[in-house]
Amino acid sequence: MKFGDGETGFSTEDFRRRAQSHVYSPDEDDYGDHVLNPKFGGWIVNRDLHEAAVLIPIIDRPGEATVLLTQRTEELRSHSGQVAFPGGRIDVEDGTAEKAALRETDEETGIAPHFVEIVGRLPDYVTGSGYRINPVIGIVDSRFTLDPNPREVAQVFEVPLGFLMNPANHKRGSRFWEGEERFFYTMPYGERYIWGVTAGIIRALYERFYA
C-alpha cells in the first residue's frame, strides 16, 4: 500500500469495505488514554464516565478520501483551541450514539444528517477527563454545505486519509500533570496540531482498519 495514493488503499470505496468488514461488538475492549498510560489505567477506566459520541467524517473526495476535523474556539471552557471531531454528550432524547453524533455534527458544522452514511463504529474511547466516547464512522457526500457554529467552531478543515493512516505520522508526546508524566499521540499536519483524544481515536482507526 502506498500512503497518500487514493488508488491503492485510501479511496472512499476501499474505506467503506474496510469499515463494513469490521463489525463492532460492545464486548470488545475499549481504546483510550489508559493504553499509553497503563500506570493510570485503573483510575481512568474504573469510575463514573460521561457518555459522549463523535462522528469520524470521511469525506467522499475523488481519488483519496479526506477526514473532516474542527478547530474549537478559544472561548470554550474545555479543550479550547484544540482540534476535534464534531461531537458531544449523548442526550436522553438521542437514544443512540449514532443519532447523537449526527445531531452534534449538524449543530457544530452545519452538515445535515442526510449527507452522512453511517458505515460503522469503533470500540469506545475512554478519556482521562472522564468521558466514554462512542466513535461513529460516517462517509459524507462531498456535496455537503458548511455552516459552522461560531460559538464552538473556529474553523473546519480536511486532512487526507492517507496522511492520518500512515503510522510514520503518529508521534508520541507527553506533558506533566500534577507531577506525573502523561503520554498521548500527536499528528502535526502543517499548521494544525492534532493531539490527545482526537489523535488517539485516529490511531485506533488505523489499528483497526490499516495496521
Residues 107-148: pLDDT tens digits?
A: 999 999 999 999 999 999 988 778 899 999 999 999 999 999
Q: Tell me the CB-side half-sphere exposure of residue 16, using CA atoms within 13 A.
A: 13
Residue 3 confidence (pLDDT) = 44
Give the model confidence (pLDDT) of 42-91 as tens digits.
655 656 788 999 999 999 999 999 999 999 887 766 665 689 999 999 99
Interior/surface letters 61-77, b for 16+ CB within 10 angstroms, e for the rest: beebbbbbbbbbbeeee
* CA gap 59, 44 in Å, rounded: 32
Q: What is the DSSP letter of 195?
A: B
Mean pLDDT calculated for residue range 140-162: 96
Q: Determine the pLDDT at residue 37.
A: 75
Quick one: pLDDT at residue 43? 56
Q: Hey, is 158 helix, strand or coil?
A: strand
3-18 burial by CB neighbour count: b if 16+ within 10 A, else e?
beebeebbbbebbbeb
Q: How confident is the model at residue 34 (pLDDT cuts 50, 70, 90)?
A: confident
CA angle 158, 209, 96 (to 5 degrees): 75
CA–CA–CA angle 64, 66, 68 (5° rounding): 170
Q: Are 12 and 60 in contact (CB under 8 A)?
A: yes
The span from the CA of 202 to the CA of 84, in Å, is 11
Measured CA distances, 197 to 11, 130, 138 (Å): 25, 12, 18
Alpha-carbon separation of residue 63 from 7, 13, 14, 157, 202 (angstroms): 6, 10, 11, 18, 21
Q: Is 116 exposed, middle or buried (0-12, 13-18, 19+ CB in 10 A)?
A: buried
Taking the chain, what is the end-to-end CA distance rounded to the nearest angstrom? 11
The CA distance from 67 to 83, in Å, is 12
Q: Model-level pTM?
A: 0.90
Question: Strands 125-126, 131-140: parallel, antiparallel or unpaired by DSSP?
Answer: antiparallel
Domains (range + CATH), the chain: 6-209 (3.90.79.10)
Q: Would you state the pLDDT for residue 33?
A: 76
Per the model's pLDDT, the better-predicted residue between 18 and 32 turns out to be 18
pLDDT confidence tier of residue 175, bands split at 50, 70 and 90: confident
pLDDT at 76: 61
